[in-house]
Amino acid sequence: MTSIPSTTQAGARPGATSAWRKHGQYEYRVLTFDRSTSVPDARKVLTDEAEYGRWELARTRLYMGGERRVWLRRKIIKVTPTF
């Protein structure tokens, strides 16, 4: 899996960063929340991503120092032309 540098997610709360990865049949998005991000704010960002972006929760990890990393995934839909 290749790593893509993190960039600040547009529309997200301060302290959230995002990175994209593609692997197999799924597309992954890694969100990183620093320790200053409150739980309700992080929950709101994850709820919006799931509801509007069709992402599902794949993994969460809490690191020393309070940084939280969340992996979201969604199935890659390949459209084949019908003509």
Q: What DSSP letter does each residue of the chain carry, written as one string?
A: ------EEPTTPPTTEEEEEEEETTEEEEEEEE-TTS-HHHHHHHHHHHHHHH--EEEEEEE-TTS-EEEEEEEE--PPPP--
Q: Residues of the chain with pLDDT > 70: what percent?
A: 72
Q: Give the whole-angstrom CA distance, residue 9 versus residue 1.
A: 21
Of 35-44, 59-68, 70-79, the one with minimum mean pLDDT is: 70-79
- What pLDDT, on the 0 to 100 scale, is given for residue 10? 40
Global pTM? 0.66
- Model pLDDT for residues 26-54, shown as the tens digit of each residue: 889 999 999 999 999 999 999 999 999 88
- The mean predicted confidence, pLDDT, of the chain is 79
